[in-house]
């Protein structure tokens, strides 16, 4: 069994990006600039956005963090998005999800200029991805592809089972794993809450990508020997024996599943760090696209 070490690979990617940014500086070029909007005080979101800002500093990007109160109206947020769309200094930006109930997430994602949508959530970018056209791939699926590629995990002709159909991970992952090329060319089954006999399906899978958010959902008896396991789940589970009072747990019963798997991502330290690294990669791509115009 080999660990797919997202922490290590994400550091490699950041080093590669930092070298490219240094080259831009040496040539007197503008460095990439990533902005993030966060609405409200959700603890997990604040931590995540803070990590993104630190990652920007680490690779030499400029970054802007815009904090808006939880009482922000949809109109106010859309106005701020319009400002960033028109700001030539900003190459890419994200709106941290989830948003407060008074704001329609779809309206917000639609308002972002597709050429600055480094999260890859705009329908135009999603459509291009589905058609195998060059575009921003959502950061988490992009990170999974990068892990599979760098560890040279065979995907061609394999049966990939995706658990969860969210627009952020499950749906794009099912499209990407079935596309031509590497990683891809696999036969994909997309499963969800209404799927019957899921154990039967997962037990036939060569590759399982789970993004449910249900701690320890995938058990050893649900997989076959030497399956490749990608765990996108990340949940805080109460644990009085832990210093923080909780532990971070994935969708996979790691202790038992790892004994049967050929490759597996740990939680934490697997897919999570890759997401931020690929957001940086998309921002660099956005900068390069502007430079080519």
Residue 66 is assigned to a ligand binding site: no
| Crossing angle between the packed helical segments 271-292 and 6-26, to the nearest 10 degrees | 20
Whether 12 is catalytic: no
Pick the catalytic residue from 5, 80, 96, 251. Answer: 96
Name which of 225, 213, 214, 211 is nearest 257 in CA terms.
225
| Cα-Cα end-to-end distance for the chain | 46
d(CA 282, CA 118): 5
Whether 128 is catalytic: no
Whether 239 is catalytic: no
Residue 165 is assigned to a ligand binding site: yes
Cα 62 off chain centre by: 21
| HSE (side-chain half, CA atoms, 13 Å) at 218 | 35
Pick the catalytic residue from 5, 91, 119, 206. Answer: 119
Give the other-Cβ count within 10 Å of 190's Cβ: 19
d(CA 148, CA 151): 5
Residue 166 is assigned to a ligand binding site: yes
Return the active site residues: 52, 96, 119
- Name the binding residues: 164-166, 234
Which residues make up each annotated binding site for NADP(+)? Answer: 164-166, 234
């Amino acid at each position: 069994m080999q660990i797919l070490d997202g922490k290590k690979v994400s550091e490699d990617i950041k080093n590669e990006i930092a070298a490219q940014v240094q080259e831009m500086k040496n040539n007197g070029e503008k460095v990439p600039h990533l902005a993030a909007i966060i609405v409200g005080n959700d603890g997990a979101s604040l931590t995540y956005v803070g990590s993104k800002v630190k990652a920007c500093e680490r690779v030499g990007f400029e970054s802007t963090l815009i904090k808006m109160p939880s009482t922000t109206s949809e109109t106010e947020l859309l106005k701020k998005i319009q400002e960033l769309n028109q700001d030539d200094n900003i190459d890419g930006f994200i709106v941290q999800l989830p948003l407060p109930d008074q704001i329609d997430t779809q309206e917000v994602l639609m308002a972002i200029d597709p050429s600055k949508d480094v999260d890859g959530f705009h329908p135009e970018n999603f459509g291009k991805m589905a058609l195998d056209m060059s575009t921003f791939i959502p950061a988490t699926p992009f990170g999974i592809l990068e892990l599979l590629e760098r560890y040279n995990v065979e995907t061609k002709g394999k049966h990939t089972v995706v658990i969860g159909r969210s627009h952020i991970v499950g749906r794009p992952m099912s499209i990407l794993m079935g596309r031509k090329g590497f990683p891809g060319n696999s036969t994909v089954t997309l499963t969800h809450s209404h799927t019957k006999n899921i154990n039967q399906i997962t037990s036939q899978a060569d590759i399982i990508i789970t993004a449910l958010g249900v701690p320890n959902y995938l058990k050893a008896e649900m997989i076959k020997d030497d399956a490749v396991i990608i765990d996108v789940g990340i949940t805080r589970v109460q644990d009085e024996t832990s210093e923080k009072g909780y532990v971070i747990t994935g969708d996979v019963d790691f202790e038992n599943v790892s004994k049967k798997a050929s490759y597996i991502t740990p939680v934490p330290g697997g897919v999570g760090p890759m997401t931020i690294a690929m957001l940086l990669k998309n921002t660099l791509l956005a900068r390069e696209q502007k430079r080519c115009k």
